[in-house]
Amino acid sequence: MSSLAVPHRSWNPWVTLAAGAAIAGGAVALSAGEGTGWRMGALLVLGAALGVTLYHALFGFTSAWRAFVAERRGAGLRAQMVMLAVATLLFLPALAEGEMFGRSIVGAVAPIGVSLLVGAFLFGLGMQLGGGCASGTLYTAGGGNPRMLVTLTFFVAGSVFATAHVPWWFSRPDLGSVSLLTRFGLAGALAAQLTAFAVIATATVVLERRRHGHLGTAAAPERRGLRRLLQGPWPLVMAAVLLALFNWCTLALAGHPWGVTYGFTLWGAKIATTMGFDLSSWEFWTWGHNRWALAGSVFANSTSVMNMGVMLGALLAAGAAGRFAPRVRIPLRSLLAAALGGLLMGYGARLSFGCNIGAYFGGIASASLHGWVWFLVAMAGTVLGTRFRPWFGLGVERG
């Protein structure tokens, strides 16, 4: 993950108040709006909670995977296994019932095929060049990182460009969708998933100790108590549990797991339409939900609204921590990597039915085999992307 702005003061009142007001005002406006309603207002607040959590814990998928690939440091991956384990325990009983609080729900289940393999690899490569995954790009951009705004811009562009080709990619050979919940039942799916998480976490411990002789330890936090809660840093495991809980809340409110990149695709399509491009004839945008989303407002789409919430939540957290201090001088090679990485992630996410959130987090939490395949293939892309980073003047963790 690209580094965030350095500490500037104890807190930035204007940024904090502005972000808080935007979240509160936006939630009220959405709740009262025709075609949105209270659920959309609640999803904006939920997105903000996710943004605060990601920012204060610096919970990164990109940096965690790179640290393991480069130096066998596995703390970040172990935190992700905790997150996935908690999410699995929350998701699968609900998905087995098919509803939550009287509302129909669906998991993130998708086919395994050529499109998934190509897209996941491109995404894994792109996130190492871009400096963040889908959620990481959102929260670092929202927290005031100008480079990540470049990544986000090209992420959006790549997502829209992919919609021109998605029908062809989706027609390539695949094995169909495989749900462990459907195949093995609730008990079997839980056992299989929890065993896999334990095996991966144990493997990271073994490999880290073999390389370093011990497990890495986090530096003692400068802040404690209420001040640490408001300004960070938060423990990774605490953030992992919160992210799982918030994703479960998303499932209840939206009817599907947390996603990110469809919102980017919609933003890009709206921008392209404003610029005079007619996307309504593209096959992707003639499909039911996509046609409705293109014709409607970005405030009527749950993923779009949650993305706005994540950015506002990260801005709130950055202001509270006194870390909102954007640096505008960015090396040219780094900017090139940000643009290329954003394009690869945007294109890859559309091909692979999501990103590190929609496909990896949501897919695995839904006991879909495609989520596990996405993880393995994106990790292979990460290996290549980590090797490419020095070409663009980007660092790789050492130690």
What amino acid is encoded at 235 in this protein?
P
DSSP string, 134-177: HHHHHHHHHTT-HHHHHHHHHHHHHHHHHHTTHHHHHTS-EEEE
Highest average pLDDT, of 31-35, 56-60, 311-315, comes from 311-315
Side-chain-side CA neighbours of residue 273 (13 Å): 17
**Backbone angles phi and psi of 324, in degrees to 5:** -85, 95
Determine the angle formed by the axes of helices 332-351 and 261-274, rounding to 10 degrees: 100
Query: Helix or strand or coil: residue 113?
Result: strand
The rounded distance, in Å, linking the Cα atoms of 364 and 75 is 19
- What pairs with residue 179 in β-bridges? 368
Whether the Cβ atoms of residue 93 and residue 87 lie closer than 8 Å to each other: no
Q: Which of 34, 5, 69, 119 is nearest to 299 (CA)?
A: 34
In Å, what is the CA distance from 111 to each residue of 136, 177, 351, 369?
Answer: 26, 4, 11, 9
- Across 161-177, average pLDDT: 97
The model carries a pTM of 0.95
Tokens coding 275: 């610029």
Question: For 346-372, what is each residue's pLDDT tens digit?
Answer: 999 999 999 999 999 999 999 999 999
Provide the pLDDT for residue 3: 43
β partners of residue 99? 104
Flag whether pLDDT at 146 surpasses 90.
yes
pLDDT tens by residue, 193-239: 999 999 999 999 999 999 999 998 777 777 778 888 888 899 999 99
**Sequence letter at residue 314:** A
Q: What are phi and psi of 100, to 5 degrees?
A: -135, 125
Amino acid at 184: F
Q: Cα dihedral sign for 386, 387, 389, 394?
A: positive
